[in-house]
Amino acid sequence: MNKSGYNSNSQNLIIKIDALELCYGNIAAVRSCSFSLKKHECLAMIGANGAGKTTLLKGLAGIKNPRKGKVFFKGQNITQTPPHVRSSMGITLVPEGRGIFARLTVKENLLLGGYAKKMSKLELKQNIEKQLNVFPQLKEKMLQLAGTLSGGEQQMLSIARALIGKPELLLLDEPSMGLAPIVTEQIFKVIASIKEEGVSIIIVEQNAALALETADMAIIIESGEITRRAKASELLEDDSVQKAYLGV
Ligand SMILES: Nc1ncnc2c1ncn2[C@@H]1O[C@H](COP(=O)(O)OP(=O)(O)O)[C@@H](O)[C@H]1O
Ligand SMILES: [Mg+2]
């Protein structure tokens, strides 16, 4: 372990990025970003609007190609690996705004969750059943168009769909955005149980306190650069972090 609590032994790492730079045109939205995350751990990414959090998640999912730097997944260089291949390797993004198919039914959306991974019909059915037990609200709405669900139900559908593909690394972009506190609480309970099952998670969340309580490690990103890496518990207690991000 080094000072920031990171184990540099790459065998244990689920993901590692090295001096990553992600641009829109000539503008670098993410600059010289480096971090790593151990298998089975949860990393919270904290930062103001426009800091580059979504862009960084897109870089991990392969939706955004880097101009510089490298991405490693379980020690393998995936910098040039396209998003659908990363998805089949076990990296799944639950995007900001959920990314569900509004004009497909709940059931059809869930079936798509198994698309990237090769799995038998039986396995797919079992995975869907498992998620319906986690999110019983969805069970009664299987034949309803996804676009007619409430915001909370859409977020549940989006997470359920991601989990059906059995990800090893789940990337969650603002899962509580626009949700009532009670729904947010349910979503975070599910996130904690996903972590218990051994899935590695990177979570971007406006509710920084909630994210830091859930996560093991945390990074702070400001104007496209990582300005702090620490244990999540350490940042929760930190005066400057409390003032800037926790509204204390
Ligand atoms: N499609 C895009 N085209 C041009 N600039 C973008 C695009 N998406 C995001 N940006 C810019 O990149 C920066 C980082 O955005 P983003 O990653 O969405 O931040 P965050 O998720 O932290 O709010 C912002 O300055 C934003 O305006
Ligand atoms: Mg964002």
Mean pLDDT, residues 211-234 taken together:
97
Q: Give the ligand at the shortest distance from the Cα of 49.
A: 1
* CA 170 to centroid of chain Cα atoms: 5
Say if residues 55 and 64 touch (Cβ distance below 8 Å): yes
Q: Is the pLDDT of residue 4 over 70?
A: no
| pLDDT tens per residue across span 71-126 | 999 999 999 999 999 999 999 999 988 789 999 999 999 999 988 788 899 999 99
**Is the Cβ atom of 29 under 6 angstroms away from ligand 1?**
yes
Angle 121-134/151-164 helices, nearest 10 degrees? 140
Q: Tell whether the model's pLDDT for residue 5 goes beyond 60.
A: no
Mutate to test the pocket of ligand 1, among 30, 31, 55 (most ligand atoms within 8 A of CB): 55
Q: Quick one: average pLDDT of 55-79?
A: 97
The mean of the pLDDT values for the chain is 93
User: Which residues hold their Cβ within 5 A of ligand 2, which is an ion?
Assistant: 53-54
pLDDT at 82: 97
Range with the poorest average pLDDT among 3-17, 132-146, 148-162, 190-204: 3-17
Q: Taking residues 48-72, what's their average pLDDT? A: 97
**Does pLDDT of 208 surpass 90?**
yes
* Model confidence at 42: pLDDT above 70: yes
| DSSP assignment letter at 91 | E
Q: DSSP of 17-76, one letter per residue?
A: EEEEEEEETTEEEEEEEEEEEETT-EEEEE--TTSSHHHHHHHHHTSS--SEEEEEETTE
3-state secondary structure 118-143: CCCHHHHHHHHHHHHHHCHHHHCCCC
3-state class (DSSP) for residue 242: helix
Residue nearest to atom 6 of ligand 1 (CA): 24
Ligand 1, atom nearest to 49 Cα: 23
The pLDDT of residue 6 is above 80:
no
H/E stretch holding 164 reads helix 151-164
pLDDT (0 to 100) of residue 214: 95
- Which amino acid residue places its CA nearest to atom 7 of ligand 1? 24
Helix (H) or strand (E) holding 87: helix 83-89
Which residue's C-alpha comes closest to atom 14 of ligand 1?
Answer: 52
pTM to 2 decimals?
Answer: 0.93
Ligand 1 centroid–CA 218 distance in Å is: 21
For residue 49 and ligand 1, the question of a CB distance below 6 A is answered with: yes
CA atoms 84, 196, 204, 140: torsion sign:
positive
pLDDT at 9 (0 to 100): 63
| CA–CA gap between residue 27 and residue 188 (Å, rounded) | 34
Ligand 1, atom 12, lies closest to the CA of 29
**What superfamily does domain 40-63+82-245 belong to in CATH?**
P-loop containing nucleotide triphosphate hydrolases (3.40.50.300)
Find the radius of gyration of the CA atoms of the chain.
18
Residue from 24, 49, 93 to probe ligand 1 pocket by mutation (most atoms less than 8 Å from CB): 24
